[in-house]
Structures are given as structure tokens and as C-alpha cells.
């Protein structure tokens, strides 16, 4: 991009990196692997939209391929918003986990997010666990 165009862009839109998803606070997910039970918990910590979805997919795929778990649990406790790209992200990870012979479930799904999953038919493939005993940890307060 020529210098004059860059200056105009900065005036109109701020610094070029401001809207770049790679500079928006890092990965939108925390992971926990319970080795004894071969359970991988993917705790999504922010809203799931088109921009954050790519990073979440890459990180989830990496963790799944490293650990090859028997069960992957998506924890939506901190997710207040999800668009259609989130549905694709969840279904894509479901397919990957199924290829390894694993199972998938979701916990802490808020009513608005649950409605999106219901309308899309995702709940026919991936259940929402009400109360789950995961590797000696008791996880409660689910929808």
C-alpha cells in the first residue's frame, strides 16, 4: 500500500492493525486436558463471530490432534454472543473428533446460544450436558 494511501487509511480507520483479528487480545479459548479420562475441555472465553472463529478453530484442532481425546467438551460459560460461524466451528470440531472415535458435548450454554443450536439442529448431534462428572470434577449450572 503506498504511503499516501496508508495515511488516508489511518485518518479514516485508525491504525491498520486495529481491526486485525490477530491483534485482538490473543486466543479466545482456554483448554484443560484431563489425562486420566482423556477428556479435553475447550473453554471459549469470548463471543464467537467470524473474526474470532478462525483462531478458535485453529487452537481447537491443534489441541485435539495433540491429545486425541475420547471426549471433547465445549464450555460456553463466557459466551454471550454467537453467529452462524460458531455453528460451523462446533460442527467442524465434532467431525474431527468423530474421525478419532471420540465424543463431543457442551456445557454452560446460555439460553440465547442454546436457541441458535436448537434452530440449527446441532443439538441432534452434540448434547448439552446438564451435570457432568469430569475426571473427578463436578461441573454444574448448565441450561
Sign of torsion over alpha carbons 96, 99, 101, 105:
positive
Rounded CA separation 77/24 (Å): 20
Over pLDDT 70: what percentage of the chain? Answer: 71
| pTM of the predicted protein model | 0.73
Rounded CA separation 17/121 (Å): 37
Q: 37: which residues sit within 8 A by CB, 6+ positions away?
A: 70, 71, 134, 135
Q: What is the pLDDT of residues 90-111, one digit of tens each?
A: 999 999 999 999 999 999 999 9
Q: What is the pLDDT of residues 10-55, one digit of tens each?
A: 444 443 323 223 334 555 689 999 999 999 999 999 899 988 999 9
Residue 63 contacts residue 33 (beta carbons within 8 Å): yes
Q: 80: which residues sit within 8 A by CB, 6+ positions away?
A: 47, 110, 112
Burial degree of 69 (CB within 10 A; 0-12, 13-18, 19+):
buried
Amino acid at each position: 500500500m503506498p504511503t499516501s494511501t496508508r495515511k488516508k487509511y489511518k485518518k479514516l480507520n485508525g491504525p491498520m492493525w486495529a481491526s486485525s483479528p490477530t491483534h485482538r487480545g490473543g486466543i479466545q479459548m482456554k483448554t484443560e486436558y484431563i489425562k486420566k479420562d482423556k477428556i479435553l475441555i475447550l473453554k471459549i472465553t469470548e463471543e464467537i463471530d467470524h473474526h474470532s472463529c478462525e483462531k478458535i478453530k485453529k487452537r481447537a484442532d491443534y489441541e485435539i490432534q495433540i491429545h486425541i481425546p475420547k471426549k471433547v467438551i465445549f464450555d460456553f460459560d463466557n459466551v454471550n454472543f454467537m453467529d452462524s460461524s460458531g455453528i460451523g466451528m462446533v460442527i467442524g470440531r465434532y467431525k474431527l473428533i468423530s474421525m478419532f472415535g471420540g465424543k463431543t458435548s457442551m456445557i454452560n450454554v446460555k439460553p440465547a446460544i442454546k436457541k441458535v443450536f436448537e434452530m440449527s439442529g446441532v443439538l441432534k448431534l452434540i448434547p448439552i450436558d446438564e451435570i457432568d462428572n469430569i475426571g473427578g470434577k463436578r461441573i454444574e449450572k448448565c441450561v
